[in-house]
Every structure is written in C-alpha cells, then in structure tokens.
Amino acid sequence: MNLAVPREIQPGETRVALTPDTAAKLVRLGARVAVEADAGLFAGFPDEVYAKAGAAVVADRQALLQGADLVLRVRKPPLTEVPLLKRGAFHVSLLDPFNEPELVRALAAQGVSAISMEFIPRTTRAQKMDVISSQANLGGYEAVILAARYSRKIFPMMTTAAGTIFPAKVFIIGVGVAGLQAIATARRLGAKVIAYDPRPAVEEQVKSLGAQFLRIDLDATGQTKDGYARALTAEQIERQRAAMTQTCADADVVITTAQVFGKPAPLLVTKEMLAAMPPGSVVVDLAVESGGNVEGVEYDRVTVSGGVQLIGLANLPGRVPTHASQVYAANLAALVEEFWDPAAKVFAPRLDDEIIKGCLVTHGGRIVSERLADRKN
C-alpha cells in the first residue's frame, strides 16, 4: 500500500501530516511511505530524518499523488489536485466539508474515499484520533503565550524590595479543550484567571484548575451528544454580554474560544465592551477562523481598537509546528492502525464501524456522510 504525505501548500501552514517517528511506525506495519521533499521543513523534520525512518523522499508531487493508495495531509486538497488522485484511494485530512461542497462533489466524482478529520466522533474509542482536540489544546496554550508577549504587564505576582506587582487578570471565554489549556497555561504563569462557559458542567473543571468561574444565569443551555455547545438565542447572547462587560473591563487579558460546531462563532465581545477595557490590554480571539467572538477583530492580523490590542492571528497550533505535527501525526497514525489489515498490509476500514460512519465523507463515487445530509435537510 502506497502511503503519501504531500508538502502542505496553504499559505502559512507550517505543520506536516506525518513526523519521522510516525512514518517509521507505519513502515513497520508494512506501508510503503513516501513524503514529498521539504514536507517537514517548517516543523523541524528534515528530509534525511524521514529517509532514516524508512520513508522515500519524493520531489515529484504529481507522481507522489498519482501513485498513492492513501494520502495523509493536514489541510484539504486544492480542487486542482483532485483529478490526480487514484480511483479507490483514501484521502485523510481536515476537509471543512460544510463549507466545501464543490470539493466534496469533486472527491466523490473522482471515486476517492475522503475522510474528514473534523468528523471523527467524540467517543472514548476515537479520542486518540481527535485532531480537533489535539490542535485546540496547543491553540489554547499558544493564545496565552501570545497574550503574555503583547501584554504590557507580567503575569505572576512578585514581591520585591521595589514593592509588590500584582498578578495579571486573565478572562477566558469558552472553556472547551482550548479554553481549559488556556486556563492551565495562564495559571502556570501566575495569572489570576476567571473563566466562563454556558455549559454548566464546566464549572468544576474550571475550579479544579485554580480559576474562578463566572456564573451567568441563562435558563436553558445545553450540549449535543458530541459534547458541543448548542447555539444560544439572541436574547441569551445579550444577557451574556451584559454580564461579561464588567469582567472584561477588569481584565488585562481576554481570551475568547467560544465556538458552536458547524456554525459561525457567536459575537460576544462588542466594541462597547472593548472601549471599557484599559488601554494596553490584550484580547486574543481563538475563534477568528470561524468568524470571531470579538467585534472588529481582523483575520490573521494584530490591530488596535481604542488602545486595546486585538490579536486575530490564525492557525495558532501552526506557531508550534513541531508539537502540533507530533500530535496530529499521532492522531492519523492511530486511525490508520485501527483499520489496518495486517495480513493484506492495507488500510481497510469497515464501512459499518461507528468511527468510519462518522468521518467518511465520500466513497464509491457518492457522498456518504450522514452529517452532511442532515445539514442539507
């Protein structure tokens, strides 16, 4: 089975889908692994290390894709590369299928079996394949590091002969995987942390990390069977904003991570709320790629609004590409291993398996994802 890892070509993408260690693991399973030249360059994995791990390093991208039975990559394939893929080949990557109907149709028409890593179900068995969590975790860490870099204050309390410096106040909105890691990281740096999420189950987790939980009474909220938050009503969002205004005004740093799966992110921090924050304070919007939680934030830019620094930098996991690639590759290797047929030495997922039913988007010339079908109805 020919397994191919092309170099990522989306501007700003620094990660790679397989590290040398995971390549070696798949070679041991019996796969013939080929990696495009320079694929791991930004992530800190030079070609020689892949070669040592038993992978072929290939300069001809077109030939690499044309010969592959299984393609592994981070980002969705460009439409122009779909015709290069073999009929019956598997393609595993982030796919953004809700927003890419044309790409999904092209993959189906090409007879490619495309797996969308965003659609890996959130079950215990599939946890080791969950790239959304592995990347969000690093995004949460990186958001705090960026905030600390841009802040004019230090995070920890210091008592010195020159007096006492009080800890920075960090407000974290949205406590999923990214938010939890942001709390833990800000606490490790010594900040005073307060956090908020509409899912009441989160309060205990926040407190166990040594942070305070901001309670806002919204009546009914809830979560889907996959653990995601449900979208709030306009009236509930309004109540949230009112309740968060004072906490924002008191904060040196606000980090927003609020997302609702498959929908634009809710707008939670308005221009009025920003205006009440002290000049020099920092807001990091981790939801910028799904529309942003902060009014006026600009995609992949750092701007200043009324003295407040707004950080809308995209792809925060890509700022720590060695570790982001390490965990992304481990997620993909776990998927390949789970469905590896050791006798035939091929990736042969069972179509009735719950994980595959969740994440397989196209197969046998058709779009097979129930999740995509549900969205259309």
358, 353, 376, 355: which is closest to 368 by C-alpha?
Answer: 358
Residues in region 244-263 near ligand NAD by CB under 6 A:
257-261
In the shown chain, the binding pattern of residues 343 to 372 toward ligand NAD, with x for contact by CB under 6 A and - for none, equals ------------------------------
Note whether 168 and 151 are within 8 A (CB): yes
Q: Which of 2, 133, 212, 270 binds ligand NAD (CB under 6 A)?
A: 133
Q: Which of 174, 317, 321, 358 binds ligand NAD (CB under 6 A)?
A: 174
User: Least distance from C-beta 137 to ligand NAD, angstroms?
Assistant: 9
Q: Does 176 bind ligand NAD (CB under 6 A)?
A: yes
In the shown chain, the binding pattern of residues 14 to 53 toward ligand NAD, with x for contact by CB under 6 A and - for none, equals ----------------------------------------
Catalytic residue among 122, 199, 230, 239, which?
122
Q: Which of 177, 186, 308, 324 binds ligand NAD (CB under 6 A)?
A: 177
Q: Where are the beta strands (DSSP E) in 147-262?
A: 158-160, 163-165, 169-173, 192-196, 212-213, 253-256
> How many chain residues bind ligand NAD (CB under 6 A)?
29
**Tokens 């009236």 appear where?**
235
Number of CB atoms found within 10 A of residue 43's CB: 25
What are 356's two structure tokens? 């595959």
231, 226, 225, 173: which is closest to 202 by C-alpha?
Answer: 173
Catalytic residue among 127, 236, 290, 305, which?
127
* Contacts with 11 (C-beta within 8 Å, 6 or more apart), sequence order: none
User: Least distance from C-beta 229 to ligand NAD, angstroms?
Assistant: 3
C-alpha to C-alpha distance for 334 and 324, rounded to whole angstroms: 15
Interface ranges with ligand NAD (CB under 6 A): 122-123, 127, 130, 132-133, 136, 173-179, 197-199, 227-229, 232, 240, 257-261, 266, 268
